[in-house]
Structure 1
Amino acid sequence: MTAPALCFFSPSGSVQDADALQRAASFLQEQGYALSYQPHTLAQAQRFAGDDKARLTDLHSVFESHYDIAIATRGGYGLTRLLPQLDLAYLAAQLLARPKKIVGHSDLNLLQLALLAQTQAVTWCGPMACFDLGATPVNPFMWQQFSQAMQTGRVNFSFMPTYLEATPVTLAGHYRGRLWGGNLSLLCSLIGTPWLPTITDGILFLEEVNEHPYRVERMLLQLAQAGILARQQLILVGQVTAYRLAEFDRGYDLPTALARVQAEVAVPIIAGFPFGHVYEKTCLPIGGMIDLTIPHATTAAIEVMATA
């Protein structure tokens, strides 16, 4: 059996922890993957993994090459610069001609959403090489979800939800829709651009890092006021991490922020979704279909299946 071909690429920020990337490489090779690197994976130009031209060249090479999987090393910032220069139809055609799974989150989310908006191409919101696959130890749930996604094109999992307003009794049932979303800040940055998907009756998932709850509330209200939230069936809020509350918040926190947004929109918001800038995360097909079964009991888990 031929070993799956996997490559690392750095479309945004430069690799800050080369040891973590080496641990990721060793781990993947131990799991039977044939590993390669794009030429500028470890490049540095100011805060970026090479200049814009170098990163753009590597990005095109990822789509043009015969890999089975391509995983971003890390996020940071950089893809916003590249979006106007990307021929997304060409990249999507390369995905059809040379099928592969493009995997990552954080800044890579911009490319994922842009591809979905303009071509309906499906990519995978999943682990990063350094943070996730270079962790010690590698999170077992993340690895199981990633492996299932890469091998079968689908994932199954359950999670314990937090309901913002509606009760499980009123929400109980089966939901099926197109899955999309990712990082809240990046999604908001695409409003008014040609790279924001227009999804109706979808299931939107969101996560965030390093943003105070008031900023999370502001961005969610922006999505609501732009009419984006009202077009969805459900809004799934993943992990919102690495923020610090202030003394003058006086009790204002993330649940307060989410409750305020829920008061503005009729679409149910459900928190606790297992994705974000955390080690324990699932792997999700951006643009794929997701099925959720919500039980009547408050203490019961929501069952999920997502398929590319």
Structure 2
Amino acid sequence: MISPVSADPHAMSKRPLTIRMATPRGFCAGVDRAIQIVERAIEKYGAPVYVRHEIVHNRHVVERLKALGAVFVKELDECPDDRPVVFSAHGVPKSVPATAKSRQMLYLDATCPLVSKVHVEAERNFKNNRHIILIGHAGHPEVVGTMGQLPEGAISLVETVEDAEKFERPGDALLAYATQTTLSVDDTSQILAVLKRRFPELPDPHKEDICYATTNRQEAVKKLGDGCDLVLVVGSKNSSNSARLVDVALTAGAKAARLVDDASDVDWSWFDGVNTLGITAGASAPEPLVEGLIEAVRQRFDVTLTEDDGARETITFKLPRLLQE
């Protein structure tokens, strides 16, 4: 929790600025679990521990784990057989753990349990002879991982409303759908509206695929967007959920919204005419980055800090059994 207003002896020379903090923001349970898996693996097995792809999409997190002894690679063929390897929170195609097993590697799967739920649902629909429409972004590791759960051709990727209009049912196949967990809730609703108009029999998943953390952070930013001159989202550029928060803020009415990795990314000319600043962080962004951003703003403005009400998150996920011993 950010502390309220603090007195600044130099405040008389600074222009007043109100900061509104979004709640919730920052780490979700899946990200926290994934980072802990890498940290605990290094503690238990020593360095180096290999990690296939970025464990989560945040530059600062990756750099800190590198300093502890994590080695980030693109594919398993860059890993030696005798060192542990961790699979990222975004999930992996089935071929990856199969290869690790064939090489008798020690591997730890940091896939977010909510992503694993999408994988299970996709498999269930496939066994029920349904062709799966996956709503998501081409090339995103989560989408690659989900599509890699099933044989080629079993899943069709739909990225936009236009894609949904053009999608053709393969033969007379029954259909089902799944979504990437970090999408814009509103954009996904528009795509689904088209698909359900065209294919009214399309069944809903047992539970919403877009994860609770993504939904909560987007709802919090909708509140910020209504009344903020500028919204800064702390998160890395390759973070899907962080990028969506910028879009949501603008749609909600913010005059401007920017994605920043940390305070050093800020162009202070953005603050011309800004009286109310909104701040949030994507689900893979550590809270110290937010605190650093606030401190940088305080050095330039007489800040009044407030925190919006929002959903309180209490979800936690267990670590793999190997790391609980």
* TM-score above 0.5: no
Structure 2-normalised TM-score?
0.30
The higher relative CO (CA closer than 8 Å, separation ≥ 6) is in 2
Structure 1-normalised TM-score?
0.31
Larger radius of gyration: 2
Query: Which has more strand, going by share of residues?
Result: 1
Query: Which has more helix, going by share of residues?
Result: 2
